[in-house]
Amino acid sequence: MAEEHAGAWLSVAALAVLFTIAGFLWHDLPAQARPGRACPPGDWDRALAEASAAAVRGEPTLALRCAYRAYIEAEAAGAGAALVQVGDFLHSLGRQRYLKISVRSAYLRAAEHARQKREWPVMAAVATRLLALGDLEEAGALLAELCSQMASGAPGVPCDPIRLTAVPTLSGEE
C-alpha cells in the first residue's frame, strides 16, 4: 500500500515537472509559432494573411497550418472565391505532391461552391487555374458547364471557352 501511494506521488510529481517545462517552453515561443494564436478559427481572411506572413518570414510549417485553417474556414463559409485564393497560396508554396493535391482540392471545392451559388466568374477562375495545373479534363468539364449555363441565360450567344478564361474573373484579375 505504501509503495502504491509513493508511486502515485511520483507520477504526480513527474506530471508537475512536465507541465512546468511545457509552460516555460510555451512562454519562450514567439506568438507566431504558437498553434492557434497566429491563425485563430473563424476568420479565413486573417488565417490566409497570417499564412502569407509566415511564408515571408521563412516559417513554412506555420504557413501551411494557417493556409489549411483558411481552407477549413472558407469551406465552412461556402466561400468559393476564398477557396480559390487559398488554392493560389498553396500553389505558391511549392510543387510537393501533397501540396498539389491540396491545391486541386481547394479549386474543386471552390468550383462546387460557385456552382451552387451560380458565381460564374469564380468557376471561370477555377477553370483557368486547373488548366494551368494541367488538369485538362476537369478544366474542360468546368468550361463546358460554364458555357452551358451562360448560353441558357442568353440563347443564341456563342460560348468560346478560350475567351471565357481570358475575361476578368476574381477582383478584376485576368
d(C-alpha 147, C-alpha 137), whole Å: 15
Instruction: Please check whether residue 59 lies inside any domain of the structure.
Output: yes
What separation in angstroms does the CA of 157 have from each of 84, 122, 146?
28, 21, 13
Q: Which pLDDT score is estimated for 39?
A: 80
And the C-alpha cell for 53? 506572413
- For the chain, how many structural domains are there in total? 1
Is the pLDDT at 40 greater than 50, yes or no?
yes
Say how many Å lie between the first and final Cα of the chain, rounded.
76
Instruction: Please check whether residue 20 lies inside any domain of the structure.
Output: no
Q: Work out the number of other CB atoms within 10 angstroms of the CB of residue 9.
A: 10
d(C-alpha 9, C-alpha 12), whole Å: 5
Instruction: Please check whether residue 155 lies inside any domain of the structure.
Output: yes
Instruction: Please check whether residue 6 lies inside any domain of the structure.
Output: no
Which helix (H) or strand (E) segment holds residue 93: the answer is helix 80-93
User: Considering the entire predicted model, what is its pTM?
Assistant: 0.60
Half-sphere exposure of 21 (CA within 13 A, CB side): 6
Is the pLDDT at 92 greater than 50, yes or no?
yes
DSSP 8-state secondary structure symbol assigned to residue 38: S
Average pLDDT, the chain: 72
Is the pLDDT at 137 greater than 60, yes or no?
yes
d(C-alpha 7, C-alpha 13), whole Å: 10
pLDDT tens string 125-134:
888 888 888 8
Q: Which amino acid is at 50?
A: E
Is the pLDDT at 174 greater than 60, yes or no?
no
Q: Name the residue range of residue 158's domain.
A: 32-166
Is the pLDDT at 23 greater than 60, yes or no?
no
Instruction: Please check whether residue 47 lies inside any domain of the structure.
Output: yes
* Chain center to CA of 148: 29
**Picking from 33-47, 86-100, 137-151, 153-167, which range would have the lowest pLDDT averaged per residue?**
153-167
pLDDT tens string 5-15:
544 554 544 44
Instruction: Please check whether residue 126 lies inside any domain of the structure.
Output: yes
Q: Which pLDDT score is estimated for 167?
A: 47
Instruction: Please check whether residue 161 lies inside any domain of the structure.
Output: yes
Instruction: Please check whether residue 57 lies inside any domain of the structure.
Output: yes
